[in-house]
Amino acid sequence: MSGFVVLEGIDGCGKSSVAKLLVERIGKRAVFTREPTDSWIGRAVREGDKRELSHYVDALLFMADRAQHTQEISKLLRRGKLVISDRYYHSTVAYQAVCLKGVFKGDAFRWLLEANLKISLEPDLTVILDIPPELGLKRIKGRSKLSRFERLAFLRQVRANYLKLARLDKTIVRIDASEDLESVTDAVLELVKERNL
């Protein structure tokens, strides 16, 4: 049986670790994917010189990568796979709405949400792995180089946007991800089972 599960949350919440452990526990029918992807567009998003890109261009690159990613997810779903994605459109809305604040004419959050909904699949399950931004920063402190998104004030705003998404879409499930990796993965796996995915 196919299905599409998205794990979301601020940097340091454990999305990648939970997603990979989930795929391992589920077995061969599960496939791990992530955004930005490993396509040339995804690499441009990750590796591009952010000093040369406006926030508008950055947001549009994320959406272009998603459009390509959505095609790949659709193929996997047609093959009966359970797709576990580390980030999807929710990340673009949560992060880029903060980046575009003050430079966008209008409501950046609404524009990003509406534009992304038009090019995205609706996940069968979206889980926000919620943690305080302070804990997220503590967890990622060991990384060799922090990204432009990994600052406390910024992460507070991003978390607020994730919680806003959860209020707007009652199908999004919020989990306290401050627990250990095994416990958080168990909680997500239980949600997957409850939805018969």
Residue located via tokens 């670790």: 17
pLDDT band at 54 (very low <50, low <70, confident <90, very high): confident
Number of domains in the chain: 1
Q: Tell me, what's the pLDDT at 147?
A: 54
**What rounded mean pLDDT belongs to the chain?**
93
pLDDT, tens only, 73-90: 999 999 999 999 999 999
Its domain, for residue 55, covers 3-194
- Which tens digit of pLDDT belongs to each residue from 130-181? 999 999 888 887 665 555 555 889 999 999 999 999 999 999 999 999 999 9
CATH number for the domain harbouring residue 178: 3.40.50.300
